[in-house]
A = this chain, B = another copy of it.
Amino acid sequence: MEILYEDTSGKCTRPARRGRFARQSAAPVNKQTNRRKIPAYALLDETALQAIEQQADWILDKIGVEFRGDQIALDLIAAAGARVAEQRVTFEPGLVRKLCSTAPFEFQLHARDPANTVTLGGDHVVLMPGYGSPFVTDLRQGRRYATLNDFQNFVKLTYQSPWLHHSGGTVCEPTDVPVNKRHLDMVLAHLTLSTKPFMGGVTSPERAEDSIAMARLVFGAEFMEQNAVMQGNINVNSPLVYDDTMSGALRVYAAANQCVCVSPAIFAGAMGPLSPAAVAAQTLAEAMVGIALAQLVRPGCPVVMGSFHSTMNLKSGALTFGSPEANLATMALSQLGHRLGVPVRSGGGQITASNAPDGQAMQDSTGAMWSTLLSGAHQVWHAAGWLEGGLVMSYEKFIMDLDHCGAMLTMLQGFETDAEAFGQDAYFETGPGKNFLSTQNTMRHYATANFQPDIPEGGPFETWAENGGPTSAHRATPRWQQMLADYTPPTMDPSTLQALTDFVSDRKALMPDEWY
């Protein structure tokens, strides 16, 4: 199944494939509830798309990308026909796109509970919590450094939500754990406290290896040789640099046939030119190189074209999120990824620079989420909890964002235009000026008709004011507290659990604590 765009002739159309050769087919796709039924929005026309693709080719031809300290990567790329001069690699126009062509457009990311297995790509949507925050906040305890307990809490909350399909990666930094041991505790939490797909460590090739080794204890090495059960997030050191940590971790995940998400990180005007067109072109160029490297390591291995981009307040220098320029770049990148023929991780999500889960936070987040989902992005990081430019995971914003994830996923289902939806019988029961509330059609549907948020509504003003006028953020607090109280861990075979905990303690015992 491929992404469908709307057109006005009544036929859904597929994006033109450019420079695609053999297409790797993935395992059969399960029927899932996270498939979009409404078409993707096509922001750009063919002329604009080609201009951006040509600019990406120009960057890779005239400027190139550096692989710093990774001779294996340089050798692989040179052997594939790229020009290598010391650490700098340049490419003939079209070559990188051709190297990406063995990547699948759609594949499964297997979960410990098969019911939670997701498809990445096609018309599927996979939502995930925030990633990478050193702080957490809630309205009771305030802002503080994140701990392993917070990390585990967010894994538990994500596990319980029907609107997040993936446990995420470094949902928040467990800052009370030594830096060199965090990946062990995080992967352990993802594997034991949840049964959703997850991301493993990437901060060194060894930590990537540890993560994969732990997953093998659960899924089996043989299964993982053929199937992806985890993702690694490979951040490009934009502009145009892959350091050996990232390219090394990329090679580890690709070699193990696990999913590589390549995420350029471009603050427009700082890591590249200012314009949305430039952000899109450079993101495409940088991402294609990482995807090409993954395909050279293991043709057909699952990849995601990621992006993370931001605008700035050019007066204050502060990063801004959910800006119109960023949302345009997000929508363009969905289209460009569809044309490349790989799943797209959106640069959007529910992101904001706001310090509080206030109006600005949700204005930024909601707009960024619309640009993400309407344009047909397949995977959405930072779909819940992200605050303060990513410095903070907010327990209340997490709950508020979940409600919006549910609303958006509901909207992506579209609506029926059949006789039951039109309710002709109800018109015969009532008529002009009459109330439809008691009609059979309303009675048949009222229990399930509308999406119902989890945060209770404010209610009539007077009652609400008497109760102290709680904002939606305040009304979210009891919800996450209740969810944590209600949490029941999924079962796991005791010997598997023992093997995991033994692995973690053994690895920890071998390493002195490092705190940087």
Contacts and interface: CB of A to CB of B under 8 A. Distances in A.
Contacts of A495: none
A240 interface: yes
Interface stretch (A91-99, A296-304, A405-413): A405-413
A13 interface: yes
Most buried by B among A5, A8, A58: A8
Contacts of A374: 41, 370, 374
A436 B360 contact: no
Given A10-B47, A400-B360, A355 B464 contact: yes
A72 to B, nearest CB: 19
Interface in A413-458: 414-418, 421-424, 426-428, 430-437, 439, 441-442, 445-447, 449-452, 455, 457-458
A62 B447 CA distance: 28
Interface of A: 5-16, 38-39, 41-49, 51-52, 55, 58-59, 62-66, 88, 143, 237, 239-241, 268-278, 281, 311-316, 318, 320, 323-325, 327-328, 353-363, 365-367, 370, 374, 388, 391-392, 397, 400, 403-404, 407-408, 410-411, 414-418, 421-424, 426-428, 430-437, 439, 441-442, 445-447, 449-452, 455, 457-459, 461, 464-465, 469, 471-473
Contacts of A400: 359-360, 363
A324 B413 CA distance: 10
Contact of A313 (B11, B370, B442, B450): B450
Given A313-B457, A363-B366, 4 more contacts: A7-B8, A44-B417, A275-B416, A277-B416
Contact of A473 (B58, B62, B358, B388): B358
Contact of A435 (B270, B367, B459): B270
Given A6-B42, A316-B457, A360-B362, A275 B449 contact: yes
B278 A422 contact: yes
A85 to B, nearest CB: 12
A355 B422 contact: no
A418 B421 CA distance: 47
21 contacts: A6-B43, A8-B46, A55-B417, A58-B422, A58-B424, A268-B449, A269-B442, A273-B421, A273-B441, A274-B441, A274-B445, A275-B422, A314-B449, A316-B457, A318-B457, A320-B450, A323-B450, A324-B410, A328-B411, A360-B362, A370-B370
A455 B360 contact: yes
Contacts of A365: 363
Contact of A278 (B16, B323, B421): B421
Contact of A354 (B7, B421, B442, B458): B458
Contacts of A392: 461
Contact of A274 (B273, B431, B435, B442): B442
Count copies of this chain in the complex: 2
Contacts of A143: 461, 465
Contacts of A46: 8-10
B461 A355 contact: yes
A66 B312 CA distance: 56
Contact of A355 (B16, B360, B469): B469
A250 to B, nearest CB: 17
Contact of A362 (B6, B366, B441): B366
Contact of A269 (B239, B446, B458): B446
Contacts of A459: 316, 318
Nearest to A319: B457
Give 7 nearest A-B pairs by CB, closest first. Answer: A10-B46, A273-B423, A360-B472, A324-B411, A240-B432, A358-B471, A366-B366
Contacts of A362: 359-363, 366
A57 to B, nearest CB: 12
A488 B416 CA distance: 52
B430 A239 contact: yes
Nearest to A369: B367
Contacts of A358: 358-359, 471-473
Contacts of A49: 10
A7 B10 contact: no
A16 B7 CA distance: 11
